[in-house]
Copies of this chain bind each other. A is one copy, B any other.
Amino acid sequence: MSLSKFFVLCVLHRKPMHGYEVVQAVEKTTNGCCSPSEGTVYPVLNEFEAGGYLTSRPETVQGRKRKVYALTDKGRDAFLIATEAWMEVTQHIVASRDMATEPGFQSPSLDGGTCCE
């Protein structure tokens, strides 16, 4: 799964949002270092909805129409599975980082084996 899709699931796991809000939320979540554009997000949302990972509900706020997307159980599962994979990879990264800087040294405050697993 591409990162953009993962982040879309991620921000929608916090709360239901409409597309425009998703774009901004992802931008914020990744600190701008990976901010998918609208041209990326909207097709992803439609694809996810078609695949049963999201449901959309039309909403009208101040005359403007929105489509509010919410995760389904299937979408929630997908996010949790992807997150698990992410955390496993994170462990390897942390291990790589700490391994070479101080051979034999294990940073207790940062990973300590209890972080992200």
A86 near B: Cβ within 8 Å? yes
Q: Is the Cβ of A13 less than 8 Å from the Cβ of B83?
A: no
> Which of the 9-residue segments A37-45, A46-54, A55-63, A89-97 touches chain B?
A89-97
Number of copies: 2
Main secondary structure of the interface of A (DSSP, over half): helix
A65, CB-defined interface residue at 8 Å: no
B88-A31 in contact (CB<8A):
yes
Which residues of B sit under 8 angstroms from A110, Cβ to Cβ?
A: 115-116
Interface residues of A (CB under 8 A from B): 3, 10-11, 13-15, 29-31, 33-34, 79-80, 83, 85-90, 92-94, 96-97, 99-100, 109-110, 114-116
